[in-house]
Structures are given as C-alpha cells and as structure tokens.
Amino acid sequence: MDKLSKYKSMRERSKTPEPFTSKDIDPKKLVFVVQKHQATALHYDFRLEASKVMLSWAVPKGPTLDSKVRRLAMQTEDHPLDYRHFEGIIPKGEYGAGPVIIWDRGTYLPEIEISKSVRKQITNKSDGEKIMEEGIKKGEIKFFLKGKKINGSFALVKIKGWSGRDNSWLLVKHQDQYSKEGFEAKDFPKSVVSGKTLDQINPK
C-alpha cells in the first residue's frame, strides 16, 4: 500500500511546487520539521520521519516548551520525506493554499517509558521506527527533539475528538532542562532556513 496515496490524491503535480518524492535520509538519524503555514487558518505543521514518510499533525497554536500547556494536534495525511525542505507558496485554488516557512527542524530520538519520570532514548534508527509505528497504533508516542528552537522530551497522545473524529491528539512537553514557561511559537516568527517571515515569503 502506498502510504502517500492520500497525499497525492489531494494535490496536482502540475499546479503545486510541493514535493512528491521521498529520497533517502541519514541512515542513522530520524528527522523532524515544523512548518508555519498560513492556509485558511494559521497553523504549524509538525512532522516526524518514520517508515519512509513524514508523519504529520496540524498544531493551531504551534509547539511550546511550557510543560504546563497542552497543544491540540490534528493528525493529517502522511507527507513525503522531501517535504521537510519545502518553503514557499502553495498556489491559490490548491489544497492548503498559502505561504509556508520552515519554522524549525532537526533530528529526534524515539523514547520508551521506563518509569513515570524516566524515559529511555532509542538511538538505533530501525528500532526507533518500530517503536514509533507501535506507538501510533496505540495512540501515544514519546520522543526527544533536537532542533534550533525547540528541544527536549515530548509526547503526542491521541484523544477523543469532536463528533467522533479520530485524528485528535495532544502535543505535550515533558518537564526537563529545556522546559520554558510562557514559550509561544508566535514569538519566534522567522524561518530557521531563510530567516524570512510568512509575510516576507508572500508579500502583500
């Protein structure tokens, strides 16, 4: 089964600059990206590499380093690996039309819980991907991000959504040395790649 079939069915190659390929990445490391996206509503697309795709969630308010805050994260279709490099404008009339910047990116390590406050990081990529696959099925994954803006231990936990929707999750920051009370994604508006804001990508 093509894991990208839904992604491809929602887009036309001839009309959007979005990537449609999944080239090999580092054989030893898993990557993540957070893309700030001004579509119908402003949100942050949170993506984790696993099983040769980027697992994806739309986070309306963006990730936070505040361990007291829970962020709603709506799971969306898997994206191709090359999407981690995408920064630009999705044309009007196309799905998700609007500007996109790479808000943050880096690598991550899946985690397993040893006790309530102790988690083990999985450094072997193959083992880590298996843990991610199992966690997605169970509705809970834990991971340690190594980015430029966000770092530390996080979890994504599936919750009961509105009107029976089954794609609702919560993005949670675990308490650790990287926790920062009051951290808001909106306070850091620039791309970590180009240094541009959404308005500079798509000037009005």
What pLDDT does 41 receive? 95
Q: Cβ neighbours of residue 107 under 8 Å, at least 6 residues apart?
A: 26, 29, 30, 31, 32, 146
pLDDT score of 66 more than 70: yes
What pLDDT does 73 receive? 96
CA distance 161 to 157: 12
What pLDDT does 45 receive? 98
pLDDT score of 1 more than 80: no
Task: Output the average pLDDT for the chain.
Answer: 94
CA distance 63 to 155: 11
What pLDDT does 163 receive? 58
| Least confident stretch, 11-25, 120-134, 170-184 | 11-25
pTM score: 0.95
Q: What DSSP string describes 55-70?
A: EEEEETT---S-TT-E
Which of 56, 144, 150, 143 is CA-nearest to residue 100? 56
What pLDDT does 69 receive? 97
Strands (E), the chain: 30-38, 42-50, 53-59, 70-79, 88-90, 98-115, 118-121, 140-146, 151-158, 168-173
- Summarize the confidence of residues 125-130 as an average pLDDT: 96
